[in-house]
Chain A
């Protein structure tokens, strides 16, 4: 990626990041659409031999040989038996029956995590810079599990099965399904086995935001990653006939519009279809759009497809307007015709202009790449949000990372829009999603693993979470682009990842597989259900009181069922959470501080000071939440911090009344 290393502080702090052998011994397994091995991001110059611990393989198949792998892309496998069992034989005229990535997504995610440095990378000169993965010395193993027809749980589970056997250290999965209990969710079950082997599993939170309860991959042994913006933009203004300019974004490069205003038409007025405003395939009337710039509404079909529909109908350009679902979030696309995406407010204003002007006109002014955009990051509107619908007492997402307009490697088999009608081929592409934020965290986890080979997956996640930030440099709280207001832990989890601080967190919240088994007991899982997840018998101790609140998680979620408090205004609930901190730094005396946002919640911590005198020393504390009754669907937030003056070990707090 370009820009994200600098945005994350990796560029300025290169000397802090280990480039030792231990860093190059870390293997990131990416379960996705495969890899395009010819990508310059898979160049293995300067890398030593493949780690001795590696037991993986470079499988052969369509247009993919064992020599497609090297010392960067050290493994490549493909899993299609489940896919073929359901959908029939793979059509090799449309996709490669091999690890080769015909889609681009897998190359993008894997190069984001661990791509080598490529100088002067760009997409049509947009976002130009030195592209690199987060862990440039880590190795990549690609596990192709997603095909044109989707990603099947049988294939995903087979890939996890093999990745564990192969010896990956980090597993990156930018995919998800519906929400289901952990014992029914193949990704959650496979991730449990991986976690037990010391593998950190990083998954995307999903793109179903800004709706609440929209998260995927919420098992507590998974690191769940939401998406934020960078400080980079690609401005392209819609300049309308009355002299007004409206800000938009675009990655269009190609034939320019004539240097004059062109007729502007709203798609809904150029269609006989009831949803003509969406510029769906075959819905525009060519006679009405020919030579004009068409305003289309975002939603339902892919954004780039709307551009292709306008182009096919003879349109000269497109203004793509957000609706309420996306608000002011601007996602740039490499459209096939001159086009810009504008926010809902601008879109509404342009529509009003169209409806009131007899001969509305517009042109689009492309401004290239702009960096230093403030505020940044802001939580992406599409990023899935909490509360956690499976276990409300575990706060998810865990954290956010860059996921909007991310440049990374791309497949040579498909154009930047992914459309079959796009003849262009690019080495890098710019796309958005929690798919893009997930591999950022996977790569950063690999960096931490290289620096601290003895840390458990939970310790690495803890370091990433407790050092994440929730304020801009000017002290203002992070914003949510969906609302324009401050974001909450249900949007950003612990905050935005800060890898430099994560390298030295001071204290960590560690967890073992047994802790997660106790967690399953607390969920009242049956012996069979626990066995399904853990692959072994585990008897919950009938004499022991298990509590989800005692899972040693680096964040706090308290869910109050209002019906249990009663409808009276004087009721309150007392909830206790116990946590244990492990010292991973020099000795220190840590004092606790708490911030809360609601008088309805009183929080106390006992003890208020923890003294550590040696590495790996553990100290426990208890947090007591005294929560007054509130109407259901109310939320309140806070933050608990331990600090020794050098480190700040921070945890978000989310209280919800349901």
Chain B
């Protein structure tokens, strides 16, 4: 529990870009594939947003290790840390 709590506290938000053309045929819908990819690196991480038009992918909170692990999964184009923008 302590390890999991530590991992959660280290988590940052990432935007995960997926290559939809690489989706295994076993998935009926891309959201299931996204979910499965995320579950493969973290039991507790949840999808914040699923993006359908602006990108193919989703956002989530991950530890740096989880982010690295996810980036190495098939069908993942990039795992980019969230950026903060400001009004001009």
Contacts and interface: CB of A to CB of B under 8 A. Distances in A.
Interface string A438-467: 100000000000000000000000000000
A364 interface: no
Given A532-B17, A532-B77, A158 B51 contact: yes
Given A82-B49, A161-B54, A189-B54, A531 B84 contact: no
Interface centre among A157, A177, A183 (most CB of B within 10 A): A157
A181 B54 CA distance: 17
Interface in A138-177: 146, 150-154, 156-158, 160-162, 164-165, 174-177
B74 to A, nearest CB: 12
Interface in A184-219: 184-187, 189-190, 193-194, 197, 204-207, 216
Given A86-B82, A532-B78, A157 B59 contact: yes
Interface in B51-69: 51-56, 59, 61
B88 A433 contact: yes
B85 A176 contact: yes
Contacts of B82: 82, 86, 152-154
B59 A154 contact: yes
A246 B11 CA distance: 55
Given A183-B78, A189-B55, A158 B49 contact: yes
A157 B55 contact: yes
Contacts of A216: 88
B88 A204 contact: yes
B85 A175 contact: yes
B72 interface: no
Interface centre among A33, A86, A197 (most CB of B within 10 A): A86
Interface string A7-50: 00000000000000000000000001100000000000000000
A105 B87 contact: yes
B87 A174 contact: yes
Nearest to A81: B48
Contacts, number: 126
Interface string B15-27: 1010111000000
Nearest to A191: B54
Nearest to A31: B85
B78 A194 contact: no
A160 B86 contact: no
B84 A152 contact: yes
Nearest to B47: A81
B13 interface: yes
Contact of A81 (B21, B49, B77, B80): B49
Interface string B29-55: 000000000000000000011011111
Q: How large is the interface on A (under 10, 10 to 19, 20 to 34, 35 or more residues)?
A: 35 or more
Interface centre among B48, B53, B87 (most CB of A within 10 A): B87
A535 B52 CA distance: 10
Interface centre among A146, A161, A183, A206 (most CB of B within 10 A): A161
A176 B88 contact: yes
Contacts of B12: 86
Interface string A79-117: 001100110000000000000000001000000000000
A153 B83 contact: yes
Contacts of A243: none
A537 interface: yes
A85 B19 contact: no
B53 A164 contact: yes
A435 interface: yes
A545 interface: no
B88 A194 contact: no
B49 A186 contact: no
A320 B62 CA distance: 46
B15 A153 contact: yes
A537 B87 CA distance: 33
Contact of B13 (A151, A152, A164, A532): A152
Q: How large is the interface on B (under 10, 10 to 19, 20 to 34, 35 or more residues)?
A: 20 to 34
Nearest to A157: B54
Given A82-B49, A152-B13, A183-B78, A190 B54 contact: yes
Contacts of B13: 82, 85-86, 152, 154
Contact of A193 (B54, B80, B85, B87): B54
B54 A531 contact: no
A434 interface: yes
B59 A151 contact: no
Contacts of A536: 21
A372 interface: no
B86 A165 contact: no
A531 B77 CA distance: 7
Contacts of B84: 150-153, 177
A177 B53 contact: no
Contacts of A158: 49, 51, 54, 59
A258 interface: no
Interface centre among A85, A86, A194, A434 (most CB of B within 10 A): A85
Contacts of A205: 88
B88 A157 contact: no
Contact of A82 (B21, B48, B77): B48
B61 to A, nearest CB: 6
A186 B52 contact: no
B87 A175 contact: yes
Contacts of A157: 15, 49, 51, 54-55, 59
A599 interface: no
A150 B85 contact: yes
Contacts of A160: 53-54
A154 B85 contact: no
A174 B51 contact: no
Contacts of A180: 83
A184 B20 CA distance: 18
A48 B51 CA distance: 33
A151 B85 contact: yes
Nearest to A433: B88
A189 B59 CA distance: 14
A161 B88 contact: no
Given A157-B49, A158-B49, A438 B88 contact: yes
Contacts of A186: 15, 80, 83
Contact of A535 (B15, B55, B80): B55
Interface centre among B17, B19, B49 (most CB of A within 10 A): B49
A528 B48 contact: no
B85 A194 contact: no
Nearest to B53: A164
A463 B88 CA distance: 25
6 contacts: A151-B84, A151-B87, A154-B13, A161-B55, A165-B52, A531-B17
Given A158-B54, A176-B86, 5 more contacts: A153-B84, A157-B59, A190-B55, A528-B78, A532-B77
